[in-house]
Amino acid sequence: MTGRVIIITGANTGIGLEAARKLCEAGNDVILACRDEAKGKAAVEKILQENPNALATFLQLDLANMASIKKFVEDFHALGKKLNVLVNNAGLFLKRDDHVRQFTKDNFELTMGTNHLGPFLLTHHLLEDLKKTGQETGDSRIVMVSSALHDLSERMNRGSIHKLDLENFFLEKEGTYNGQQAYKNSKVAMVMSMYSLDRMLEGTGVSVTCMNPGFIPTTDLSRHASSVAQFMLRYIMGPVFKLAKISRTVEHGGKMIVDLSISEKYKGVSGKYYDDFEVKESSEESRDEEVQKQLYELSARYCHLDGYEPLEAPPPPVKTEKVKASKKAAAEPKEKENKESKEESQKKGPDVEGIKFADEEEKAEEAAEEEDKEVKKADEINTKTEDKGDEKTQEAEKVGGEIEGDQEEKDKGKAVDPVTTSAEITAQ
């Protein structure tokens, strides 16, 4: 069926972009909801270059920011369009063994905030639009892109990864956080939400399904890994996995989104989990109806949905910034800098937890490049001044500005590349 209005989050790259391109080819009106404006607009331009008649529009959306989500909904409503399909595709996977928690602007742990709470809030703010279309046409849809890693029985999860603990929702308890645990929790939460929505939307004309696109080495999901890990994944492990028929392609994942969004085959199908175009049983953990209900209520409270008592996320640990370098400091004796660094570390004590905020990563690479430039400048400066009689030579050119230890995120693609900052963090 053509002529539908479809929102796809994270549509500037990977399977989201592939799905947007194919849906536009089929004559649908596609909204590319992306965090990075430049990349979002570039994706629209790419679609238009291939298909000048395509109905493709960019709208800015940061799923790690509740204010941005609400603004996106306002911007969409300003277009005056109906809504047939919402595809919750965007997501992130931080470094598997990273033990440094990161946070959204709303103090949510970054992975849970971006992969679950963000889409949860977006979906609920667009439910009335979807219900209206469902009543008029008998067919509006929500497609949620999850992962096989939501399942504890998956080989990568065995032994080291645990069930979702609603009492430790943001993995704030000591020793419980790592990137893979956070990712697994967010994806099982997405599957559980699908089941809750299916029960809630019965009889409304709105269907909701969840899909596992499979392991696709060429997407930006691994953008948070080190450059070496990304190279290994894309150019060494990826081809090996392809030969072993373990991995899938962007085209395959994009087609799954397209089919679940518009194919007549899936009209009215709801509450199902799909893997490789077939209905599969989701994890045993995800099918626990009591936990589904508890998760839904907890998520609704964190997202401040009407009818639920608002719940604020616990504040992140207090952080103390350490100025990493400055032009002035670069000219001072290195011994003094080392001494101050040692004294600062002693004050912090041995039990230190690192934290980062989503907005601190946005310009991480630019900051690193700027830092390199500044250090090179500082090395070239001769800070010693010589007395010549009663006159002093001009002071060495001062370098203004400081490079802050808390680096911002470059892009949440988004895309987002976590870089370890030099901030020193006080213990919680």
Supply the residues annotated as catalytic. Answer: 183
Burial of 159 (0-12, 13-18, 19+ CB in 10 A): exposed
CA distance 20 to 34: 12
- Which residue type is seen at 298? L
Q: What is the separation of C-alpha 231 from the centre of its chain, rounded to a whole number of angstroms? A: 21
- Of 190, 155, 154, 191, the residue nearest 282 (C-alpha): 191
CA distance 157 to 164: 13
- Of 62, 94, 221, 76, the residue nearest 146 (C-alpha): 221
Per DSSP bridges, beta strands 391-392 and 387-388 are antiparallel
Sign of the four-CA dihedral 417, 422, 427, 428: negative
Hey, what are 235's tokens? 């150019």
CA distance 180 to 157: 8
DSSP readout, 47-64? HHHH-TT-EEEEEE--TT
Distances (CA, A) of 413 to 39, 77, 249: 7, 24, 18
Query: Which backbone phi and psi does 211 adopt, to 5 degrees?
Result: -140, 150
| Buried-state track 23-60, b at ≥16 Cβ within 10 A, e below 16 | bbeeebbbbbbbbbeebbebbbeebeeeeeebbbbbbb
Q: Do the beta carbons of residue 346 and residue 424 sit within 8 Å?
A: no
User: Helix 289-302 and helix 179-200: axis angle, to 10°?
Assistant: 100
- Which residue type is seen at 145? V
